[in-house]
Amino acid sequence: MNWVILILAGLSEVVGVNGMQQVAAGKKGTGFTFMFLGFAISLSLLSIAMATIPLGVAYAVWTGMGTVGSVIIGMIFYNDSADRKRIFFLSLIIIAVIGLRVVSN
């Protein structure tokens, strides 16, 4: 169950980062709302997940999900580059996160 909570924490982090982008784009009202709620939910869920998932694994999975999710959101909605090198390195992050999940207790 804590792995599901950790995944939700990672997704909430992506919401918070997307809120930061909205603030930067001038949409301050909705941007601050998404940013504060996203990060508050994310950190709360992360702390719950860390009750049974080791700190290093939980944090690595959480940041990996946030990184990959934010880059994908940037590619889809903000016209960030989607070249092969970026996709390759994102794939490495995904493989590392899956690997941590497989080897953790």
Q: What number is the average pLDDT over the span 11-39? A: 96
Distance, CA of 63 to CA of 99 (rounded, Å): 15
Q: What number is the average pLDDT over the span 5-33? A: 95
Using alpha carbons, select from 102, 43, 38 the residue that is nearest to residue 70: 38
- Return the structure tokens found at 58: 């939980």
Give the model confidence (pLDDT) of 39-72 as tens digits: 999 999 999 999 999 998 999 999 999 999 999 9
Buried b (16+ CB within 10 A) or exposed e, 5-25: bbebbbbbbbbbbbbbbbbee
Question: Average model confidence (pLDDT) for the chain?
Answer: 94
- Output the pLDDT for position 101: 84
**Residue 105 pLDDT grade (very low, low, confident, very high; cuts 50, 70, 90):** low
